[in-house]
Amino acid sequence: MSYRGRFAPSPTGPLHAGSLVAALASWLDARAHGGQWLVRIEDVDGPRCVPGAERQIIDQLAACGLHSDAPVIRQSSRGSTYQAALERLLQQGDAYPCACSRQDIELALLAAGTPRERHQAATYPGTCRPERGGLLGRPARAWRFRVAGLGHVEWRDRRLGAQSQDVASAVGDFIVRRADGLWAYQLAVVVDDAEQGITHVVRGEDLADNTPRQILLQQALGLPTPRYLHTPLVMGANGEKLSKQNGAHALDLGNPLAALNVAAQALGLPASASDDLGSALGHWIGAWAERWPA
């Protein structure tokens, strides 16, 4: 097996203590297995991207001694590849256009006696499925992957162990191209991981429940499923996951070794007393290899 891993940040802000954990873990896993590590900029959601954040992230990674082994790719330049994947799904009957607005979905769920629970995303009720008449003359807004009948996915996460999700009841037919014309993360990530030959995905645990949707897309597109390892999340003082949305500070890279030591600790690795970046990273590669065989 030739190992290929990746770190795939969305440039919605600079790296913070939480995202450094995912970056370091994915890099250590690649190095511990003699593999390559690629950086991919996930800028499909243009309106959420912050000018300058990509440069900042790359500079922050470099300050920590983490360098992509291949030129960095950007999702914003890959629309035609995502379009080809969508066309294949449409041809196979695995995707369909949808005319429903958010309000249409809420009303349909209400009418079916299964209203959306507060703070939960709505499970799409299947209104525009072809067997229910499709668009019925309404214009397409978004495109959905057809989960119906495929719902139950089981997989093994290297850290979390056996996992399963009934995608049909948890999320229903999910969006692969959004009403605003943007590509959905689920489709872009699956197409890119396959095209870049990614064998191992190491990323934050907040993304674990996306994995079953990605596995369904991989299967429908005839793509291999990488191995997954979801890393522990770093919690902020308020007990919530540290994220750009809840005000996590950009990493202060005046002292990259201090930032890396904190990230290593979050990953359960021993602290490094070294004041040399290369030897600290080498120390963690050894510790990682023992802890997480591929």
Residues of the shown chain interacting with ligand GLU in the complex, contacts defined by CB under 6 A:
8-10, 42, 189, 203, 207
* Minimum gap (Å) between residue 81 Cβ and ligand GLU: 17
Neighbouring C-beta atoms of residue 230, cutoff 10 Å:
23
45 or 173, CB closer to ligand GLU? 45
* Minimum gap (Å) between residue 138 Cβ and ligand GLU: 32
9 or 212, CB closer to ligand GLU? 9
140 or 207, CB closer to ligand GLU? 207
* Minimum gap (Å) between residue 10 Cβ and ligand GLU: 4
9 or 125, CB closer to ligand GLU? 9
The 8 Å CB, 24+ separation contacts for 218-223 are 218/190, 218/194, 219/150, 220/89, 220/92, 220/94, 220/145, 221/85, 221/88, 221/89, 221/190, 221/191, 221/194, 223/190, 223/191, 223/193, 223/194
Structure tokens at 45: 């959601």
Burial class (CB in 10 A: 0-12, 13-18, 19+), 157: middle
* Minimum gap (Å) between residue 65 Cβ and ligand GLU: 20
12 or 219, CB closer to ligand GLU? 12
* Minimum gap (Å) between residue 22 Cβ and ligand GLU: 7
